[in-house]
A and B are shown apart, each in its own frame.
Chain A
Amino acid sequence: MSDANTWDAIVVGAGHNGLVAAGYLARAGLKVLVVEKNDWVGGAAVSRSLHPGFLYSNCSYVCSLLRPEIMRDLELPRYGLQVIPYEGGGTFTRDGDVLGTYREHDAHRREIARFSLRDAEAYDRYSADVIRQCRFIRPFLMRTPPDPTSFRPRDVQELLYLGRKFYDLTETEMYETIRFWTMPIAEFLDEYFEADVVKASFCISGIIGTALGPMSPGTAYVLLHHYMGEVDGSVGAWGYSRGGMGGISNALSASFQASGGTVRTGAGVDRVLVENGRTVGIVLDDGEEIRAPLVVSNLDVKRTFLKLVEETELPGGFVKQVRNFKIRGSSGKVNIALDALPKFPALPDDSSIYRGDMHFTDSVERMERAYDDWKAGRWSADPFLDMVIPTTIDPTMAPPGKHFMSCFVQYCPPKVEGHDWTDAERDAFGAAVINQIADYSPGFRDLVLHAEVRTPRELEAEVGLTEGNIFQGELTFDQLLFNRPVPGYADYRSPIGGLYMCGSSTHPGGGVMGAPGRNAASEILRDLKKPRKDMSDAYAVL
């Protein structure tokens, strides 16, 4: 049957994971439709033209985690993806100095030595220890987590795999791994470093995107989540996608369409159709019905099961667990079009620090205090910023001489002291961010041509991230591995036959990584008993 309106599978949501899953399914010969509520694809990995002549990476802003296996399998470079590594970064101190970070290990070490010789000595030990933890965890990213309560051969086999990987460590490494998973990043760093600014600069990856402060247990693992990536085989490195983060989504979309897939934008989904416990398709917001035996949801687990599916179709315990899924937003975003490159007196002209991520939080205490504000339901007057100016490397995002700046801001609560954000509060939040930058760059305000301020309210409204949580669910142990999104359903399946999940709510979680989409596609092909020949084994490319 070659009816143009019958599909083997429908993917709901054209975020990067939806497109990854769709790409693999299309390559396996399925007829796949991707529906997206926005008029563009990409979800949180987009480049939007919000000011004349500028392209904004207005949600996610840097690339590192995208799995190289996926890049290769889906031939993303051929479809236009280009990732350019950062050249470094820096943390400004309140006394007018800056601690630079450099890609070159020895340069970075010398820089740390300016602040503390002891810390420079510890840096090698620290790097080795963290990289060891990365190497241990990375093989699990592209595997479906086993159910530890199950005796099915595949679950047992996967558990044994996990156990064997653990047992491959030395005894000391085993204990260190357990500690690493359960410690606060601040305490972990205290074991290596003494200088506040050095600790603060290493802390950053432990908190980005999480509703935890650096002194909260479990944040050392979050650090790992951000270190697992690589650019050009350099572990832990970060880079820019040329043309903004939309470059990733556009390449994924082009690759998918080249394999025969179809993308429909401006098509929001109202509900998933279920008959006799199996999905049979979807209904769009305008009432149009599209039928398919498989539906793959890229939305977060709350939106998928609490909004698209009738509660009566789901087991009661499941609904309760989905309701209890923790998805508190903790960050905001301020995207700025600049008339010229801002000058920071602490930086020499043309310092490579301009071409990396810059921060103004020079102590762990300031970071933790910003978290205290979040707990109380406030945005912080002294927020933590992760600021990048991608146009210092990638000229395609702004007119000549002008620059695009992206500021990731933490912490920013989903609600302000219990009520929804107002526009005035959003603007005050934006002003707090610009004030902080201006403290380190006099004259900065005069360069601002346009600023887009996004609180969790805006992230939820546009991208569909519940509570504005960038990871579609917090990265705490109760929501990782076989617990993600809920115990018993970590294998990308759901209580409804034919309905799968492929978003960041599933293992291994958020970041523009693509692993959830790939793993979901793998499980679907397994259920369809289709060969997975276009899917390289995890780590086949290393």
Chain B
Amino acid sequence: MTARTADIVVIGGGHNGLVCATLLAKAGRKVVLVEAAEALGGAARTVEFGDGCRVSQVAHVLNQLHPEVEKKLELKRHGLQLAATNIPTTALAADGRHLTLHGPFGERLEGDVSAEDQAAWKDLRAKLMRFAAVLRPALTDIPPRLKNGSRGDMMALGKLGLGIRRLGRADMREFLRMMLMNVADVLNEEIGDDRLKGAVAFDAVLGTHLGPLSPNSLMTLYYRLAGEADGMQGALALPKGGMGSVVSALEAAARAAGVEVLTGAPVSRILVENDRVSGVKLENGEEIRATTVVSGANPRTTLIDLLGTCELDTGLVRRVSNIRMRGNVARLHLAVEGLPDFRGLSEGLAVGRLLVAPSIMEIETAFNPVKYGSSSPVPALEIVIPSLSDPALAPSGRHVVSINALYAAYDPKAARKTARTAFQKSVMKVLEQHAPGIGEQVVASEAMMPADIEEACRMPGGHWHHGELAIDQMFMLRPVHGLAQYAAPVPGLYLCGAGSHPGGGVMGAAGMNAARRILSEAK
């Protein structure tokens, strides 16, 4: 059998791998993309469950897809459609006194909010959006190195510094003070309304191993706010056909650019000859020869499992082994008969995102058990009913309810199945308090604990950022220092997944930045 050859092999058909492969192919490279699963998409797939119901398997709200990615890959032309844009977020209250945040990041509040809180929120919201916008350009930067004397790196740092300077003196002081604060203190300084504080704190901690009282939890909120959907900073959207349609558009773009896509083709080794990468070997024994290999897989998987520690120095192996990735979000998909009744919530609001995060302390209390390997008995929830805006997702008369539940243990002390069943019960109990009778309406359900997500999407830790978004794992420290510029120490090997700067969320910036790095090297 003669080995297949290419200029570049991209490992992993998640959104970042697809973005990177497409951009490389567009630059004239012969690119082969290999995906272990039968379907592309990684954590951004739409899957079927129950009887003809479809749901976004892991990522379920679009809020960060980078406009530059969208533009460069012409995703609209390749079929990307949004079912709903700029959707509202409603913080559910068990007594029906809901609070709704309309417009991007709660531009307008509705629901019995005091005049002081209205005014204070307006100021705080503007401040947080401003500060997040300062960090925004860094999303598409290749993180600089601190001490290699390159002018480009110095300029990247200077640019960031200048952005902070441009805020003006008062804002700059606030920016530097708040930088490493916890989101709870930031909110408590200004806001009284528990529902509002709960909702904002939820967004800050969603997808991280942090509680609202953990220092640095404001930075994760900035990360979220640096994103935009449909041209609006801080807005949320639902793609038509679920998250899988984003991947379909990406796949169409990739194929149009000439990327050869192999699915059901797990990689067993990254091949190295004469101290540089020479291709990959698939689990079925087939080899694909290439001088460049780009991995969208988790950095630890890529370097420790696929490349092997003998190619790396011990310091780097230690650092990579120490990357923290404990997924704490569980997924629950429900197929329900009729529309669940969230205590009089109008359909206009049910189209949006619903949060059960009544207060900062309730989220923090939910966080406590995962520190010790148990899941929250009273989880905080993010709920969307995508079939309301996209009826094609469920047979008529039925709806799909898609839930992110915090906090679920990655490595529960109990057996996995027991832990899953128990956690699903806890989620249903909370749901029942807000939508009485929902349990009766359920005709099919599917729960995924972090460990299930790990298996389904090949994401170690079940962590959708491929490594926690903590300050010590961000920017030039992502995934670890020495790998932050997308290149591995073995010539020809690159990283392009969410484990690299800037991180996860269906954004595509990591894939785009990696492609730029690879192309700049060739010059």
- Interface residues of chain A, those whose CB is within 8 Å of chain B, are 148-149, 167, 170-172, 174-176, 178-179, 182-183, 187, 190-191, 212, 215-218, 317, 324, 326, 365, 368-369, 372, 375-376, 476-478, 482-483, 487-488
Q: Known contacts A167-B147, A324-B189; decide if A172 and B481 are in contact (CB<8 Å).
A: yes
A-B contact pairs, 28 of them (CB 8 A): A148-B172, A171-B147, A172-B315, A175-B477, A176-B481, A178-B471, A178-B472, A182-B216, A182-B470, A182-B471, A183-B470, A191-B322, A215-B371, A217-B180, A217-B214, A217-B471, A368-B372, A369-B372, A372-B368, A375-B213, A375-B364, A476-B180, A478-B177, A478-B178, A487-B173, A487-B174, A487-B177, A488-B173
CB <8 Å contact, B215 and A477:
yes
Name the residue on A nearest B322 (C-beta).
Answer: A191
8 closest cross-chain pairs (CB), A and B:
A175-B481, A487-B173, A477-B180, A171-B147, A182-B471, A179-B472, A218-B215, A217-B216
B 339-366 binary contact with A (CB < 8 Å = 1; else 0): 0000000000000000000000100110
B151 contacts the other chain (Cβ, under 8 Å)? no
Within 8 Å by CB of B180, from A176, A182, A487, lies A182
CB <8 Å contact, B477 and A179:
yes
B 207-223 binary contact with A (CB < 8 Å = 1; else 0): 00010011110000000
CB <8 Å contact, B179 and A477:
yes
- Residues on A with C-beta less than 8 A from B472 are 178-179, 182-183, 187, 217
Expressed in whole angstroms, the minimum distance between the Cβ of A26 and any Cβ of chain B is 35
CB <8 Å contact, B481 and A487:
no
> Bound state CA distance, A476 and B189, in angstroms?
16
> Bound state CA distance, A174 and B181, in angstroms?
22
CB <8 Å contact, A216 and B214:
yes
- Residues on B with C-beta less than 8 A from A483 are 176-177
Name the residue on A nearest B468 (C-beta).
Answer: A187
B324 contacts the other chain (Cβ, under 8 Å)? yes
B145 contacts the other chain (Cβ, under 8 Å)? yes
Expressed in whole angstroms, the minimum distance between the Cβ of A110 and any Cβ of chain B is 24
Expressed in whole angstroms, the minimum distance between the Cβ of B341 and any Cβ of chain A is 33
B169 contacts the other chain (Cβ, under 8 Å)? yes
Q: Known contacts A171-B148, A174-B147, A212-B215; decide if A365 and B481 are in contact (CB<8 Å).
A: no
> Bound state CA distance, A355 and B33, in angstroms?
65
- Residues on A with C-beta less than 8 A from B180 are 182, 217-218, 476-478
Expressed in whole angstroms, the minimum distance between the Cβ of B128 and any Cβ of chain A is 15
B146 contacts the other chain (Cβ, under 8 Å)? yes
Name the residue on A nearest B167 (C-beta).
Answer: A149
Name the residue on A nearest B171 (C-beta).
Answer: A149
- Residues on A with C-beta less than 8 A from B101 are none
Q: State the main secondary structure of chain B at its contact with A.
A: helix
Name the residue on A nearest B365 (C-beta).
Answer: A376
Known: A217-B214, A218-B215, A477-B179. 19 other contacts (CB 8 A): A149-B169, A149-B173, A172-B315, A172-B481, A175-B476, A175-B481, A178-B472, A182-B470, A191-B322, A216-B215, A217-B216, A217-B471, A317-B170, A365-B371, A478-B180, A478-B181, A478-B185, A483-B176, A487-B174
CB <8 Å contact, A191 and B147:
no
Expressed in whole angstroms, the minimum distance between the Cβ of A276 and any Cβ of chain B is 25
- Residues on B with C-beta less than 8 A from A476 are 180-181, 215
> Bound state CA distance, A324 and B191, in angstroms?
12
B318 contacts the other chain (Cβ, under 8 Å)? yes
- Interface residues of chain B, those whose CB is within 8 Å of chain A, are 145-148, 169-170, 172-174, 176-181, 185, 189, 210, 213-216, 315, 318, 322, 324, 361, 364-365, 368, 371-372, 470-472, 476-477, 481-482
> Bound state CA distance, A167 and B147, in angstroms?
8
> Bound state CA distance, A178 and B146, in angstroms?
11
> Bound state CA distance, A493 and B415, in angstroms?
59
- Residues on B with C-beta less than 8 A from A191 are 318, 322
Expressed in whole angstroms, the minimum distance between the Cβ of B292 and any Cβ of chain A is 26
CB <8 Å contact, B215 and A217:
yes
> Bound state CA distance, A167 and B368, in angstroms?
39
- Residues on A with C-beta less than 8 A from B177 are 478, 483, 487
Name the residue on B nearest A320 (C-beta).
Answer: B189
Within 8 Å by CB of A149, from B172, B189, B318, B371, lies B172
- Residues on A with C-beta less than 8 A from B147 are 167, 170-171, 174
> Bound state CA distance, A381 and B176, in angstroms?
38
> Bound state CA distance, A167 and B322, in angstroms?
26
- Residues on A with C-beta less than 8 A from B368 are 372
Name the residue on A nearest B476 (C-beta).
Answer: A175
> Bound state CA distance, A170 and B481, in angstroms?
13
Within 8 Å by CB of B470, from A167, A217, A365, A372, lies A217
> Bound state CA distance, A170 and B145, in angstroms?
12
Q: Determine which residue in A175, A178, A218, A488 has the highest number of CB atoms from chain B within 10 A of its CB, and name it.
A: A175
> Bound state CA distance, A485 and B481, in angstroms?
32
Expressed in whole angstroms, the minimum distance between the Cβ of A187 and any Cβ of chain B is 6
Name the residue on A nearest B161 (C-beta).
Answer: A148
> Bound state CA distance, A374 and B170, in angstroms?
34
- Residues on A with C-beta less than 8 A from B214 are 216-217
CB <8 Å contact, B322 and A190:
yes
- Residues on A with C-beta less than 8 A from B324 are 187
> Bound state CA distance, A172 and B476, in angstroms?
11
- Residues on A with C-beta less than 8 A from B145 are 171
> Bound state CA distance, A215 and B185, in angstroms?
18
Expressed in whole angstroms, the minimum distance between the Cβ of B16 and any Cβ of chain A is 24
Name the residue on A nearest B174 (C-beta).
Answer: A487
Name the residue on A nearest B474 (C-beta).
Answer: A182
> Bound state CA distance, A179 and B172, in angstroms?
23
Within 8 Å by CB of B371, from A148, A368, A478, lies A368
Name the residue on B nearest A178 (C-beta).
Answer: B477
Expressed in whole angstroms, the minimum distance between the Cβ of B22 and any Cβ of chain A is 32
Expressed in whole angstroms, the minimum distance between the Cβ of A329 and any Cβ of chain B is 16
- Residues on B with C-beta less than 8 A from A190 are 322
CB <8 Å contact, A148 and B176:
yes
- Residues on A with C-beta less than 8 A from B216 are 182, 217-218
Expressed in whole angstroms, the minimum distance between the Cβ of B188 and any Cβ of chain A is 9
- Residues on B with C-beta less than 8 A from A171 are 145-148, 481
Q: Known contacts A171-B146, A218-B215; decide if A487 and B477 are in contact (CB<8 Å).
A: no
- Residues on A with C-beta less than 8 A from B210 are 217
- Residues on A with C-beta less than 8 A from B481 are 171-172, 175-176
- Residues on B with C-beta less than 8 A from A179 are 472, 477
Name the residue on A nearest B172 (C-beta).
Answer: A149
- Residues on A with C-beta less than 8 A from B364 are 375
Expressed in whole angstroms, the minimum distance between the Cβ of B311 and any Cβ of chain A is 19
> Bound state CA distance, A368 and B364, in angstroms?
13
- Residues on A with C-beta less than 8 A from B318 are 191
- Residues on B with C-beta less than 8 A from A218 are 180, 215-216
> Bound state CA distance, A477 and B216, in angstroms?
10
> Bound state CA distance, A271 and B318, in angstroms?
57
> Bound state CA distance, A148 and B165, in angstroms?
9
